[in-house]
Structure 1
Amino acid sequence: MSDKKKDESAARLIVKNLEAHGVKDVIGIPGAKIDRLFDELADSSIRTIVARHEQNASFIASGLGRITGKAGVAITTSGPGVTNLVTGMATATSEGDPMLAIGGAVGRADLVKLTHQSLDTVSLMRPVAKFSSLIGAPNATSEIVSNALRAAEGGRPGAAFVSVPMDVLNLPANAPVMGGIDAPPPGPAPHDLIASAARMIKSAKRPVVLLGMLASTPENAQATRKFIRQCGLPVVGCYQATGVMDKELFNWWGGRIGLFRNQYGDLLLEKSDLVITVGYNPIEYDPVLWNLHPDRPLVNVDVVPAELDNSFMPACELIGSIADTMSLLADETGKLTAAPEMTGILETYHRSLKEVYNTITPPARNTLHPLEIVHVLQDFITPDMTLCFDMGSFHIWLARYLYVFRARQILISNGQQTMGVGLPWAIAATLVAPHQKALSISGDGGFMMSAMELETAVRLKSNIIQIVWIDEHYNMVEIQEKKKYGRGTGVSFGPINFAELANSMGAKGINVQNVDELKAALKVGMETEGPVLIAIPVDYTDNPSLMKPLPELGGTTSASA
Structure 2
Amino acid sequence: MTDKNKPAAPECGADMIVRNLVAHGTTHVFGIPGAKVDRLFDALVDSPIETVVTRHEQNAAFIAGGIGRLTGKAGVAIATSGPGASNFVTGLATANSEGDPVLAIGGAVKLADRLKLTHQSMDTVALFQPITKYSAEITSPAAVSECISNALRFAEGGRPGAAFVSTPMDILSMPAEGKVLSGRKVPTAGAAPAEAVNEALALVRKAQRPVILLGLLASRPDVADAVRALVATTGVPVIGTYQAAGAVSEDLSDRFGGRVGLFRNQPGDQLLHEADLVISIGYNPIEYDPWLWNVDNARKIVHIDVVAAELDTHYDPAVELVGDIAASVRALAAQAGKLPRAPQLEEILSQYHATRLAALSGARSTSNTAVHPLQIVRELEPFVTPDVTMCLDMGTFHIWLARYLLSFRARQMLISNGQQTMGVGLPWGIAASLVNPAQKVISISGDGGFMMSCMELETAVRLKCNLIHMVWVDQAYNMVEMQEKKKYGRGSGVEFGPIDFAMFARSCGAHGISVQSADGIAGAMREAMEIEGPVVISVPVDYSQNHLLMKPLATLGETSAAA
TM-score grouping bracket, smaller chain normalisation: over 0.9
Which one of the candidate residues 420, 423, 431 is aligned to 1:420?
423
Shift of 1:161: 0.3
Q: How does 1:80-159 map to 2 (within 5 A)?
A: 80-159=83-162
Deviation per CA, 1:253-302, whole angstroms, max 9, x where unpaired?
01100000001100000010010000000000000100113253100000
Q: Does 1:345 align with 2:355?
A: no
For 2:286, what is the secondary structure of its paired residue?
Answer: coil
For 1:283, what is the secondary structure of its paired residue?
Answer: helix
Write the distance in 1 (CA, Å) between the matches of 2:338 and 2:384: 34
Shift of 1:515: 2.6
Q: How does 1:5-154 map to 2 (within 5 A)?
A: 6-154=9-157
Write the distance in 1 (CA, Å) between the matches of 2:7 and 2:532: 43
Match of 1:397 in 2: 400
Write the distance in 2 (CA, Å) between the matches of 1:57 and 1:4: 36
Q: 1:302 to 1:338 in 2, by over 3 A?
A: same
Deviation per CA, 1:323-372, whole angstroms, max 9, x where unpaired?
01101100121110111111111001111011213653533113211011
Aligned partner letter, 1:343: E
Q: How does 1:54-453 map to 2 (within 5 A)?
A: 54-294=57-297, 296-357=299-360, 360-453=363-456
Write the distance in 2 (CA, Å) between the matches of 1:462 and 1:363: 36
Q: How does 1:528-547 map to 2 (within 5 A)?
A: 528-547=531-550
Match of 1:559 in 2: none
Write the distance in 1 (CA, Å) between the matches of 2:90 and 2:365: 38
CA contact (8 A) 2:361 2:378 kept: no
Q: Does 1:476 align with 2:479?
A: yes
For 1:208, what is the secondary structure of its paired residue?
Answer: strand
Write the distance in 2 (CA, Å) between the matches of 1:340 and 1:330: 22
For 1:261, what is the secondary structure of its paired residue?
Answer: coil
CA contact (8 A) 2:14 2:43 kept: yes
Match of 2:561 in 1: none
Shift of 1:554: 11
Which one of the candidate residues 544, 551, 554 is aligned to 1:551?
554
Q: Does 1:456 align with 2:459?
A: yes
Write the distance in 2 (CA, Å) between the matches of 1:460 and 1:361: 38
Write the distance in 2 (CA, Å) between the matches of 1:214 and 1:4: 50
Which one of the candidate residues 490, 514, 517 is aligned to 1:514?
517
Deviation per CA, 1:85-109, whole angstroms, max 9, x where unpaired?
0000000000000000000000000
Aligned partner letter, 1:164: T
Write the distance in 2 (CA, Å) between the matches of 1:266 and 1:62: 29
Shift of 1:113: 0.8
Shift of 1:542: 0.9
For 1:431, what is the secondary structure of its paired residue?
Answer: helix
RMSD of aligned residue pairs (Cα, Å): 1.3
For 2:181, what is the secondary structure of its paired residue?
Answer: coil
For 1:467, what is the secondary structure of its paired residue?
Answer: strand
Write the distance in 1 (CA, Å) between the matches of 2:18 and 2:361: 57
Write the distance in 2 (CA, Å) between the matches of 1:480 and 1:4: 67
CA contact (8 A) 1:299 1:316 kept: yes
For 2:495, what is the secondary structure of its paired residue?
Answer: coil
Most deviating of 391-400 and 514-523: 514-523
TM-score normalised to the size of structure 1?
A: 0.97
Any unmatched runs of 5+ in structure 1? Answer: 556-561
For 2:225, what is the secondary structure of its paired residue?
Answer: helix
Match of 2:506 in 1: 503
Shift of 1:178: 0.7
Write the distance in 2 (CA, Å) between the matches of 1:474 and 1:514: 21
Q: 1:515 to 1:361 in 2, by over 3 A?
A: closer
Write the distance in 2 (CA, Å) between the matches of 1:442 and 1:164: 35
Deviation per CA, 1:156-181, whole angstroms, max 9, x where unpaired?
00000000000000001111101112
How many corresponding residue pairs?
555
Q: 1:96 to 1:399 in 2, by over 3 A?
A: same
Shift of 1:553: 7.5
Write the distance in 2 (CA, Å) between the matches of 1:181 and 1:103: 24
Write the distance in 2 (CA, Å) between the matches of 1:38 and 1:227: 47
CA contact (8 A) 1:374 1:402 kept: yes
Write the distance in 1 (CA, Å) between the matches of 2:423 and 2:120: 26
Q: 1:485 to 1:4 in 2, by over 3 A?
A: farther
Write the distance in 2 (CA, Å) between the matches of 1:383 and 1:358: 22
Q: 1:279 to 1:352 in 2, by over 3 A?
A: same
Shift of 1:72: 0.2
Deviation per CA, 1:403-446, whole angstroms, max 9, x where unpaired?
01000100010100000000000000011111111101000000
CA contact (8 A) 1:156 1:304 kept: yes
Deviation per CA, 1:529-560, whole angstroms, max 9, x where unpaired?
100000101111111111111326799xxxxx
